[in-house]
A and B are shown apart, each in its own frame.
Chain A
Amino acid sequence: MGVRLVLRITLKENTMIDSQKYKTLTVAQIRAGLLEKEFTAVELAQMGLELAESEGKALNCFITLCTEKALGQAKAVDAKIAAGVELGKLAGVPVALKDNMSYRDYPTTCASHILDGYIPPYDATVVEKLIAADAVIIGKTNMDEFAMGSSNENSYYGPAVNPVNNTCATGGSSGGSAAAVAAGITPLALGSDTGGSVRQPAAFCGVQGMKPTYGAVSRYGLIAFASSLDQIGPFARNSVDLAELLTVISGRDKHDSTSIDFEHPDYAEGIDESPDLMRIGWPGECFGEGVDHEVLESIGELRKNLEEVGHTFVDVSLSQLNAGIACYYVVATAEASSNLARFDGVKYGIREGDDSDLLEMYRKTRGKGFGAEVKRRIMLGTYVLSAGYYDAYYLKGMKVRQVITKELDDVFSKVDVLMTPTTPTPAFCMGDKLQDPLAMYLSDVFTVIANLAGTPGISIPAGRTHSGLPVGAQFLGKRFDDARLLKLAHQAQKLIQ
């Protein structure tokens, strides 16, 4: 198992902010505090780095800390404030980055052994946007290897730990980002969501997480798992901050052909106003057998609250829901088998085997460099694309994907949004599902449809079980209805509190 050394940094003796307060700060409070000289951006960065090193280490939620650049970015913000220069939207806000997004000069590992030593020479578009917004990137977070997993246990650097309950999985694949935000190490984080990899860990760790509409956020620099499903999404402790971060990272990027040219609003603007009354779809399939009763109770409670403020709930059917997981594991693995072909020991990362036999070098490098789950998915994906099986699996999978998309579109012609549990159960214990991949895959049953259809989804905390584990409620919307989802999430969050 890999261990990455974390640089120790010295804290200023008389820092003006204590960690308890730091952990509650919102984006707006940070901005106000900076402008009122309550604290400096460097102090915030140092606090974030210190927490990442102490609590973060215990939670194993960071793979790499970006100390030097973070302090540089913070200093630049302080200099801007001193000079009275206009600040970016996320000025001085510590942000954590899932370790599958390229950040120049720092290792980008995808939590895989195969990328050991690889340092990208370029920034992902989201990183450029964060920097342009004056954010401070604290570190790169732990994840399931190549974003393949639902528990963060498939990491070469070991699993991240759920801050709510240390025996529980954070969920995955963006487990480190969810944990960092849940533990208060950073108020914001970015994850990537291919089948639920932002929403599911957000639900497990009790924070908010969103998968935007496919194409709303550039994937340039995001190391691909399944290109047609991957979407970068924000984590935050509240929907206003979530909206702030989404606003910064959204928009057409000429480096990503699948990013879409659309007028995206400032999502945080007007988020406080009550949303228009909505027809909220209630898919029976998401509330049946196999769903934890405490989850059902929490979601039922939220439904009542939403009805009380005037929203209408409508029973709808997602008859294809169960086909989603099967379809997902055909399409996603097919794309992954091709996307991960570049990790071959030739250009970067580890190389195994001697130089005399190319095929042996490939075999040994990939055999040693990839973990079990990644290998399983590469083999699955290779199989479904193989001559003689393509029609039966990949092509059929793509057809099912169309059927699922069509059904979702039809449902959205009747209702404005859908509400479901984010996951059938609260966070499971680490090790529980590791030996049973199918059970693990099923924790994404309510989330994958949004990836298959390219629609947005958001998970918010909707109470806790008796043992104190967070329950996530998911809202699903039409393509480009991200703003509406955020408004509803914001209202729901206020109702729960």
Chain B
Amino acid sequence: MSQTENKNIIDGFEPVIGLEVHAQLVTKTKIFCACENKYGAEPNTLTCPVCLGLPGALPVLNMQAVEYAIKMILAIGGEVRQRSIFARKNYFYPDLPKGYQISQFDLPIGEGGVITISADGSEKQLGVTRIHLEDDAGKSLHPEGSGDTYSRIDLNRCGAPLIEIVSEPDMRSPQEAYAYLSKIKQILQYVGVCTGDMEKGHLRCDANISVRPEGQEKFGTKTELKNMNSFKGVERALNFEIARQIQTIKDGGSISQQTLLWNEKKQVAEAMRSKEEANDYRYFPEPDLTPLHVSESWLEEIRESLPELPDARSARFVKEYGIPEYDAGVLTDTHTLADYFEAVAKKINDGKLASNWVMGELSRYANEGAFDFAEPHVAPEDISRVISEVKALKISASFGKQAVKELVVEKKPLSEIDFGGNQMISDTGELEALIENVLSSNEENVVRYLAGAEKLIGFFVGQLMKETKGKADPALVNKLLKEKLESRRS
């Protein structure tokens, strides 16, 4: 432990967390058959003898799944094994029709790698142990309150390609785990191999967690947490389990190694029934598949196809567009947002301005659900036109915002935005005349202003904007108003 204060210590204990993240790959077809790999179809319609595990059917590896796994491995700086082996993980469950999962065990396709998060204002590197390929199981549906006494099984998901990303026990707080998970999701989305949608189960996370007295090297006994269905759920479950473990130890008890299921409704982690705990998966090499070989040339090809990753892109935004680090971080949160920003910045040739508008107006609409950077219904070119008009002082910023609203919310085409009729009034003479009118019809406020109520400047600006339907050049209005008011002092 370093000399500095360790903020992760709770009641004298330090949590140690490792995560196992399952990411469903967005390949066209499933990992071992030609069935479509799609979410949301009618139950049991996307199946064939192979993914149904019918007797005699055999798996054939989908190389697109391999390519996607390799992308993720390379993106986090891991090593791709030139020769990896598939293995069977044996257990009985109704939604596992083969009675085993085809996974990888002692020779996974990817090893090592690093995820960088920012924690307490500084960067922290979290190790990835391995990434391996495997097939997904089906889904068991236990309808509650439907009067249905049977469980139902949907095998559409059966055979969907997964990568499992196993971290080192490097995280020391639920916040770090949350940041790690967010970063994994961000990179998966950047390289385009997974939607990262945890609610739909496209991203799943199990956690291994233990606590140890401050300063102790040796890890405590760990428990495994499953069934967290959201990022916040992971954080909450970890907080719960850390508190439980610390309390147990403080009460003189000891932690037993077990698997706990997070109950989101009750906000508690519950022990699995011992029956449900499969202890011995009897892994052995999958005899129906030959070893997977990845050639150096293919690896190079994939490496070259990788997009710019979030950290690199963020650093480049700072350098290239002169925007603050914080802004660059926000703008590179997703590659779609970053793409949008960059298109606007290039078009208007002004990074700072582009950043203001994208992070301001557009992000606001995005948060409200009125806009989606992943599927934008307003082209960056259209937004750029509005910003350009503002930049050239042809229209006011407030009308610019109005125009963006019309484009985004009212879904008007650009051609219907009346830039001409909304030209900014920046003629001094014209504005001076309008200012005289406003001042003379609000004499009592002029008096109060001159007596020291300088905040009333806003009132006068507002009146003027009202008169001009927002078309007055605000900077000029401010300047002229002050001059006119000051001239009345004498």
Contacts and interface: CB of A to CB of B under 8 A. Distances in A.
Contacts of B279: 387
Given A346-B97, A347-B97, A222 B56 contact: yes
Interface in A314-363: 334-335, 337-338, 340-344, 346-348, 355, 358-359, 362
Contacts of A358: 94
A347 B56 contact: no
A338 B58 contact: no
B92 A362 contact: yes
Contacts of B99: 338, 340-342, 344
A422 interface: no
Interface stretch (A60-68, A117-125, A413-421): A117-125
Interface string A218-229: 011111101110
A165 interface: no
Contacts of A257: 58-61, 288-290
B303 to A, nearest CB: 26
A108 B280 contact: no
B54 A122 contact: yes
B90 A220 contact: no
Interface in A156-176: none
A386 interface: yes
Looking at B56, B60, B88, B100, which has the most chain A CB atoms within 10 Å of its CB?
B56
A124 B282 contact: no
Interface string A81-100: 00000000000000000001
Interface in A342-393: 342-344, 346-348, 355, 358-359, 362, 382, 385-387, 390
Given A359-B275, A386-B282, A227 B287 contact: yes
A254 B58 CA distance: 10
Contact of A335 (B55, B56, B275, B287): B287
B53 interface: yes
Contacts of B92: 341, 344, 362
A249 interface: no
A122 B56 CA distance: 10
B57 interface: yes
Contacts of A382: 282
A256 interface: yes
A132 B331 CA distance: 60
Contact of A108 (B55, B275, B287, B289): B55
A115 interface: yes
A465 B291 CA distance: 47
Contacts of A346: 94, 97, 153
Contact of A121 (B54, B98, B149): B54
Interface residues of A, number: 47
Interface in A244-277: 254-258
Contacts of B290: 257-258
A256 B57 CA distance: 9
Nearest to B279: A387
Contacts of B54: 102, 120-122, 348
Contacts of A340: 99
Contact of A224 (B56, B153, B275, B282): B56
Interface string B75-113: 000000000000010101010011110000000000000
Contacts of A110: 55
B52 A120 contact: no
A227 B56 CA distance: 10
Contact of A347 (B52, B59, B149): B52
A111 interface: no
A221 B59 contact: no
A106 interface: no
A109 to B, nearest CB: 10
A101 interface: yes
A223 to B, nearest CB: 4
A338 B88 contact: yes
A348 B279 CA distance: 27
B284 interface: yes
B55 A118 contact: yes
A390 B88 CA distance: 14
Nearest to A259: B58
Given A342-B99, A359-B275, A386-B282, A115 B61 contact: no
Given A121-B54, A122-B49, A227 B288 contact: yes
B326 interface: no
A193 to B, nearest CB: 16
B55 A387 contact: no
A446 interface: no
B298 interface: no
Contacts of A256: 58, 60
A394 interface: yes
B94 A338 contact: no
Interface string B25-66: 000000000000000000000000100111111111100000
Main secondary structure of the interface of B (DSSP, over half): loop
Contact of B98 (A115, A222, A334, A342): A342
Interface string B248-286: 000000000000000000000000000100011011100
Contact of A254 (B52, B60, B90, B289): B60
A255 B60 CA distance: 6
Given A118-B55, A386-B280, A341 B60 contact: no
Contact of A223 (B56, B150, B275): B56
A278 B92 CA distance: 52
B49 A121 contact: yes
A342 B53 contact: yes
A120 B53 CA distance: 12
Contacts of A122: 49, 54, 57
B393 to A, nearest CB: 66
Nearest to A346: B94
A258 B279 CA distance: 30
A221 B53 CA distance: 11
Nearest to A124: B56
Contacts of A343: 55
A228 B284 contact: no
A208 B280 CA distance: 44
A120 B49 CA distance: 9
B280 A228 contact: no
Contacts of B56: 100-102, 108, 120, 124, 219-224
Interface in B180-213: none
A442 B60 CA distance: 35
Contacts of A342: 53, 55, 97-99
Interface string A271-287: 00000000000000000
Contacts of B287: 226-228, 258, 335
Given A227-B287, A334-B284, A338-B88, A102 B58 contact: no
Given A355-B150, A382-B282, A220 B97 contact: no
A343 B97 CA distance: 9
A386 B57 CA distance: 26
Contacts of A334: 284
A386 B278 CA distance: 12
B97 A394 contact: no
Nearest to A385: B282
Nearest to B150: A355
A123 to B, nearest CB: 10
Nearest to B55: A223
A386 B290 CA distance: 23
A388 to B, nearest CB: 9
A338 B55 contact: no
B477 to A, nearest CB: 74
A101 B433 CA distance: 96
Contacts of B60: 254-257
Contact of B57 (A115, A221, A338): A221
A179 B88 CA distance: 37
5 contacts: A121-B54, A122-B49, A219-B58, A257-B59, A342-B53
Given A341-B99, A346-B97, 15 more contacts: A102-B55, A115-B55, A120-B54, A122-B54, A219-B58, A220-B56, A222-B56, A257-B290, A258-B287, A258-B289, A338-B88, A338-B99, A341-B100, A358-B94, A390-B284
